[in-house]
Amino acid sequence: MTPKKLLGILFLLALATFITSGDTFEFLPPSMREASVTTREFLISLWPQWLKPQDWDAEREKDIEQLGQ
């Protein structure tokens, strides 16, 4: 691997670490911790609706209640 590729990979790993857990690093200033949370919320909002976790039990409970009526 060339040094340029290695630095690129290390940068991406550092960026991913900051986005996923930057708000838990107490040594960072509060503005940087808030930036980590804001970035994470933005990236999560980009996921399509069908990929987001759903509460299947709640739907089943509604169906069971409708059957009981």
**pTM, full prediction:** 0.59
The string of pLDDT tens digits covering residues 3-38 is 999 999 999 999 999 888 888 888 889 998 899 999
Phi and psi based region of residue 34 (left: phi greater than 0; alpha: psi -120 to 50; beta: remaining): alpha
Q: For the chain, what is the HEC assignment?
A: CCHHHHHHHHHHHHHHHHHHHHHHCCCCCHHHHHHHHHHHHHHHHCCCHHHCCCCHHHHHHHHHHHHHC
